[in-house]
Structure 1
C-alpha cells in the first residue's frame, strides 16, 4: 500500500458492494418519500435541510468506509479512529436530523402507514430509544471496542470489522435520536436534560483518548503485523489515535451541544415574544393533544388545503388542533 497522504483520501477508493448497495437503496427510498410528500402536499413540501442532512449522513458513511480513510483503517490506528468518529458521531446525528421515520409516516399509506405507527410505539422501540439506554450503549461501545482486546480481533477478522461499523452506526443513532431528533417516538425530554446527556458522554471520549495516549507499550499486537515501513511505530500510532478520540470526540460533542443550546434559546425567545398568556395557552394545548399529535399529523395532513409554502410540520399542529376540538365536541366529555 502506498504511503498515506491527504491526497490519498480523495484518490484511493475501495468499492464495498454491500455498503454501496445499502446507501443507494436508502437514498433512493428517502428521495422517493420526499417526492411523494411533495406531490401530496405541494404547498407544504418536505424541508430541504432534512433531506440534505440525511444525504450528508449517507455520504459520511461512504467516506468512512470506501474512501482513503477506509482503505487505511487496517494500517493506521489513528485513521481507524477517524473512521470511528465518522461512523459514531458524524453520520448518526445527520441521519437523525433527516427524520426518516417521520418521512415514512407522511409518505406512506395503509397498511405500511399503520404498521410504521405501531412499530414506532412498540415496546421494543420504546425500550431501545430510552435515553439512558442510548447513553449506556454509547459508553459500552466506545470503551469495549477501544480499551479491550476487541481491537485485535477486528484487525484479524474482516467480518468482525464490518460488524463493528454497524455497531457504531446503531449505537450513535440510538444515542442521538432522543437528544437531537424529532421523530414520533414516546420519549420527549427537556432541553436541559438533552444537554446533560450530551455532556456526560464527553468524559467517555476523553477517558478513552487519555488511556490510549498514555499507553507505555503497544496494546494491539495486530497493528505490528505486516506494518509498512513508512508508517509510524505502533505505539506512536496508538498515541495519535488517542488524541484523535479525545480532541475530535470532544469537539464534535461540543458542536452538538451548541446546536441543542441554540435551538433551546430560539424556542425560549419565541415563547417570550408571544407573551405569558399565549405561552401558557400553547403549553396547555401541547399537554392536552400531545399524545395524539403524531398519529393525527399523518392521517390528517393530506386533507389540508394548499396555502403558503410551509413545511409538513405545520400540518401536525393543525391536525393536533382538530383532534383537540373533536374531543371537546364529544357528548359529556369536556375534560382535558
Structure 2
C-alpha cells in the first residue's frame, strides 16, 4: 500500500464478489464489532437470568446490524473501497443507512437501562453514580438533545454527502488510515443520530409523533437521490481519489463513478421503505395498545355502573320490605 498523492493506492486484481467478501479485517472495526456483540449478549443473558424476557427479534436485528458493519469493514470490500468509488459507496450506504437501522431495531439503549444495576445509595444516604446513572445523565443532557434534534440531524446527514465528497476534505481523509477510519466512524454515527428519533425504539429526548417521524425521514432521503443523480450525470470524475484507478483493476474512472451514483440513488429508496414499514408497524401496535387500554377503562366504568345499578335495585327491594 502506498500512502501518497490524493489517497491510498494499491494494486488489486479485478473486483469479483469472491474477492470482495474475502476475510480482510480492519482491527479497529473488528474489535468494535466483537465488543458490541459481547456487551449486548451480556445484557440479554443478565435479563434472562433475572427472569425477564427480551425479544428474539431485537437480538437478531442487532446481530445483523453488527454483521453488516463487519461485512463492509472486515472483508475485501474495505480494500477495494480504497481504489473503487463504487465499492466505497456500498460501504458508505451500508454503514450509514442499513447498519444504524438494524442496530436501533435491537434497542441497545433500552437493553442497557434494563440490564445495568441501579447504583443505590451510600452509607450517608446519598445516591451513587454508576454506569446506569451515567447513561441516564447522558440521555437527558443538552448535548444529546442538540445532536438528536432534526434541525441538527438533517443538515449533518446532507452535509455528509455534499460537503464531504464535493470538497477536498474527502481526499484528505482518504490519504491516511486514521482519516479513513474517522470518516467511516462518522458515517455510522451520523446514521445513528439521524434514525434514532425516527425509529423511536429506544428512549431519547425527542419523541415526535409518527407523522412527524415520517416527515423527518423523507426530508433527508431525497438529497441522497439527488447526490446519486449528480454522480451519474457527471461528464468527468468528480473525486480526485478515484480519478486514476490502478490499471490492474481494468476499470474506467467515469464508469465506476456512474455506478457509485446508481448505488447512492438506490440506497435512498431501500432504507426508506424499511424504516417506513417499521414505523407503520409501530404505529399500528401503538393504536392497538391504546384501544386495549380504552376497552379496559370502558369495562371498568361499565362494571362500576352495573354495580351502582344493582345497589340501587337492592335498596328499592329493602325499602319495599
Classify the TM-score, shorter chain. Answer: 0.7 to 0.9
Kept in 2, the 8 Å contact 1:88–1:168? The answer is yes
How far apart in 2 are the matches of 1:189 and 1:27? 30
How far apart in 1 are the matches of 2:47 and 2:293? 31
Pairing 1:23–2:39 present: no
Report the Cα offset of residue 164 of structure 1.
0.7
SS of equivalent to 2:234 = coil
Pairing partner for 2:265 from 241, 246, 252: 246
Kept in 1, the 8 Å contact 2:222–2:268? The answer is no
Pairing partner for 1:2 from 10, 13, 18: 13
**CA deviation profile, 1:37-64 (whole Å, cap 9, x unmatched):** 1112x1x322111111111111111111
In structure 2, the residue matched to 1:32 is: 42
Pairing 1:263–2:286 present: no
Cα separation, partners in 2 of 1:242 and 1:270, compared to 1, 3 Å = same
In structure 1, the residue matched to 2:112 is: 104
In structure 2, the residue matched to 1:56 is: 64
Pairing 1:159–2:178 present: yes
Length, aligned pairs only: 277
**CA deviation profile, 1:119-141 (whole Å, cap 9, x unmatched):** 21111122212233222221111
Q: Which has the larger radius of gyration?
A: 2
Cα separation, partners in 2 of 1:202 and 1:262, compared to 1, 3 Å = same
In structure 2, the residue matched to 1:129 is: 148
Tell me the TM-score normalized by structure 1: 0.77
SS of equivalent to 2:23 = coil
SS of equivalent to 1:201 = helix
Pairing 1:215–2:234 present: yes
Pairing 1:78–2:86 present: yes
SS of equivalent to 1:200 = helix
Report the Cα offset of residue 235 of structure 1.
0.9
Q: Give matches, 1:160-309, under 5 Å.
A: 160-225=179-244, 227-272=246-291, 278=297
Cα separation, partners in 2 of 1:114 and 1:266, compared to 1, 3 Å = closer
Report the Cα offset of residue 104 of structure 1.
1.3
Report the Cα offset of residue 277 of structure 1.
8.3
How far apart in 1 are the matches of 2:180 and 2:42? 32
Unaligned ranges ≥5, structure 1 = 282-336
How far apart in 2 are the matches of 1:161 and 1:278? 57
Cα separation, partners in 2 of 1:158 and 1:196, compared to 1, 3 Å = same
How far apart in 2 are the matches of 1:142 and 1:157? 20
Pairing 1:13–2:23 present: yes
Tell me the TM-score normalized by structure 2: 0.80
SS of equivalent to 1:213 = helix
Unaligned ranges ≥5, structure 2 = 1-11, 120-129, 301-321
Pairing 1:91–2:87 present: no
SS of equivalent to 2:202 = coil
